[in-house]
């Protein structure tokens, strides 16, 4: 904004706008809310803007309120004709008109779309970069069979990044492998609702459910012989499937559960199918292996 020929008050307003909006918008997304004390709709919208801005602060979002009665020159530059008027600014330029977003859900949806398209520098991004090597270290410990060490590392990451779904999911899996089922459940109960909705945490929750029922078995030969001698012994087949799950043989587990469903899909209230679906969720519904097993399940159910 040019300042030549402006009054001292207008020049001061421009400088304040530069410091509070333009400069922060170089790396952050600044929501500019034009309002006034006499504006009823402005007062209704204010709590929504303040809450969402606080929720998205770690994502690089900042809220700046501009009173049009005190900053008429700035409002005129934005051609504000009615209020509330809300704009998103990035790198000194308006990138979106948020005025029509009057609910928390609408505003979050618009912000998510904007943030996905802009190179915003946020605390979340910086934090993700910081914890990435620690996550890799914890995953390596878990895959290497040192669940106790994995629990320790993941716990530290959760303290550093309490909003990280990857850290929470990793801790849940590590606790499950370490047999600390109650601790894992407690972590899930205390987790933020938005974390519980994430795909990766849902997978970890499913893995916990499987681990609660399954225990590693050094020798499954007795169960295998029992099933071979009586294929219709679905109790033994279910126990064998859980043994395979505990030992990390998901294919053998799926084979047993699918065979059980083929024999009697309603056995024990559909326990085999429920266990199979939990296994799918623990592995990940987008995994090619899961897709292949789902096709096998469909062939059994619909033929």
CA distances (Å), origin 140, targets 149, 151, 157: 10, 12, 14
CA dihedral 247, 280, 270, 301 (to 10 degrees): -120
* 167: Cα within 13 Å, side-chain hemisphere: 22
Q: How far apart are CA 239 and CA 256, in angstroms?
A: 10
Q: Which helix (DSSP H) or strand (DSSP E) does residue 31 occupy?
A: strand 29-35
Phi-psi region of 270 (alpha: psi -120 to 50; beta: other; left: phi over 0): left
- Concerning whether 42 is annotated as a catalytic residue, the answer is yes
Bridge-partner residues for 93, per DSSP? 90
- Concerning whether 39 is annotated as a catalytic residue, the answer is yes
Q: Given 21, 30, 31, 42, which residue is catalytic?
A: 42
Q: Given 13, 29, 31, 39, which residue is catalytic?
A: 39
Residue 216 has phi, psi (to 5 degrees) of: -55, 135
| SS3 state of residue 221 | helix
Q: How far apart are CA 278 and CA 206, in angstroms?
A: 6
Instruction: Catalogue the active-site residues.
Output: 39, 42
């Amino acid at each position: 904004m040019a300042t030549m020929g402006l009054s001292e008050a207008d020049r001061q307003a421009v400088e304040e706008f530069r410091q509070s909006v333009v400069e922060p918008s170089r790396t952050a997304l600044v929501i500019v809310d034009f309002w006034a004390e006499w504006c009823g709709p402005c007062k209704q919208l204010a709590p929504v803007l303040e809450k969402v801005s606080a929720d998205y602060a770690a994502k690089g979002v900042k809220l700046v309120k501009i009173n049009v009665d005190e900053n008429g020159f700035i409002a005129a530059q934005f051609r504000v004709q009615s209020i509330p008027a809300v704009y998103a600014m990035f790198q000194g330029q308006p990138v979106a008109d948020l005025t029509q977003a009057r609910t928390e859900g609408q505003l979050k949806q618009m912000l998510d779309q904007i943030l996905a398209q802009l190179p915003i520098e946020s605390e979340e991004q910086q934090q993700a970069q910081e914890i990435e090597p620690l996550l890799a270290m914890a995953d390596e410990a878990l895959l290497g069979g040192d669940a106790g060490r994995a629990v320790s590392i993941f716990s530290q990451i959760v303290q550093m990044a309490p909003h990280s779904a990857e850290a929470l999911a990793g801790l849940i899996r590590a606790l499950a492998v370490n047999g600390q089922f109650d601790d894992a459940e407690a972590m899930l109960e205390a987790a933020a609702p938005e974390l519980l909705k994430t795909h990766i945490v849902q997978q970890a929750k499913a893995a916990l459910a499987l681990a609660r029922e399954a225990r590693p078995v050094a020798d499954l030969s007795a169960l295998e012989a029992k099933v071979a001698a009586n294929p219709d012994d679905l109790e033994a087949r279910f126990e064998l499937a859980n043994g395979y799950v505990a030992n990390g043989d998901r294919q053998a587990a799926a084979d047993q559960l699918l065979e059980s469903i083929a024999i009697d899909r309603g056995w024990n209230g559909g326990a085999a199918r429920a266990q199979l679906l939990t296994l799918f969720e623990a592995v990940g519904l987008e995994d090619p292996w899961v897709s292949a097993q789902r096709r096998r399940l469909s062939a059994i159910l619909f033929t």
